[in-house]
Amino acid sequence: MKLSIKHESFYRYERSVSLSPHLLYVRPRQNSSQRLRQFKITVSSGAVLSNVIDPLDNDFIHAWFPKNTDLIHVQTSCEVESLNVNPFNFLLSGEATRLPFAYAASVAEPLAPYRIPLAPATRDTINSWLAREFGQAPKATTDFLGNLIQLIFKKIGYQRREELGFQTSIETLRKNSGTCRDFAVLFVEICRELGLAARFVSGYLYTPADKPDLAGNSMHAWTEVYLPGAGWKGLDPTAGVWCDDSYIPVAHGARAQAVNPIQGSYYSDHPVSSKLESTVDVSLIAP
């Protein structure tokens, strides 16, 4: 499937400020499942741009702002060919077909950042929720994960929130609602509690006109779980599905904050209010 993506963000400040270097995670990933055919970016205020690959092999744009400004305007356009038509086109290694399983020594060390133990309060809350809601969980790995994202999708209400930041898993389970990024935090932490390596993913989602638009003119967040024999596989607890070619990954990280699309700070002698406006359009070029 070939998609056209247009993304535009405005950061407006009430007065001119000095800006730190910004990290722009807006370039779609390139690998065997996704090809980036075209990419163009423009940034306001005379920004100086350079392309960088971070320690996790994400592509990002480093932006320096040589003068003070009251506006950051970031505009990107690209064409992507998404090849992940069948998300179940994999075979698990024998030891990984049923839960729990142990990762082989050859992958356990590089996966360590994605298996960080949870805080005791988070562990207790998650385990209590699982025992109450998911008591008869299947042992087959793919069935378990599929049922788990369906459980989150059905039991927890999706609610858009314009404010920046993430809810904790405790907050999401207590409120019984959250945004896509909150669902991703919850699913990652459940997976890690169960011994699975999981990471956060930020990107774009193509939604046909006849289906509910979860992304809502913004970037979307989901999760990838490392499964021996299959590698990193995307799952979206917000929609209750394994990720197919409708999902366009941009960046991944062990921490949720690491995949924010625009990262940076401003400096001012006095507090300055700011406002973010962002629009995303993902349209089909060819099936």
Q: What is the pLDDT of residues 227-261, one digit of tens each?
A: 999 999 999 999 999 999 999 999 999 999 999 99
Percent of the chain with pLDDT over 70: 97
Q: Could you give the C-alpha distances from 75 to 9, 115, 124, 273, 287, in angstroms and in order?
A: 6, 35, 43, 22, 25
Contact 218, 162 (CB under 8 A): no
Arithmetic mean of pLDDT over the chain: 93
Q: Which two tokens stand for residue 110?
A: 């590089």
Bridge partners (DSSP) listed for residue 242 = 235
Predicted pLDDT at 243: 97
Asked if pLDDT for residue 19 goes beyond 80, the answer is: yes
Model confidence pLDDT, tens digit, residues 161-178: 766 678 999 999 999 999
Q: At what angle do helices 141-155 and 180-193 cross, to 10 degrees?
A: 140
| Burial environment of residue 60 by CB neighbours within 10 A (0 to 12, 13 to 18, 19 or more) | buried
Sorting pLDDT into bands at 50, 70 and 90, what band is 216? low
Confidence of residue 211 (pLDDT cuts 50, 70, 90): confident
Contact 216, 181 (CB under 8 A): no
Query: What are the structural domains, with CATH classification, of the chain?
Result: 2-83+262-286 (2.60.40.2250), 94-259 (3.10.620.30)
Determine whether 4 is exposed, middle or buried from the number of CB atoms within 10 Å of its CB (0-12, 13-18, 19+).
middle
What is the pTM (predicted TM-score) of this model? 0.93
The count of C-alpha atoms lying within 13 angstroms of the C-alpha of 7, restricted to the half-sphere facing its C-beta, is: 26
Interval 275-286 mean pLDDT? 92
pLDDT value of residue 217? 65
| Segments in 33-179 forming alpha helices (H) | 105-108, 120-133, 141-155, 169-175
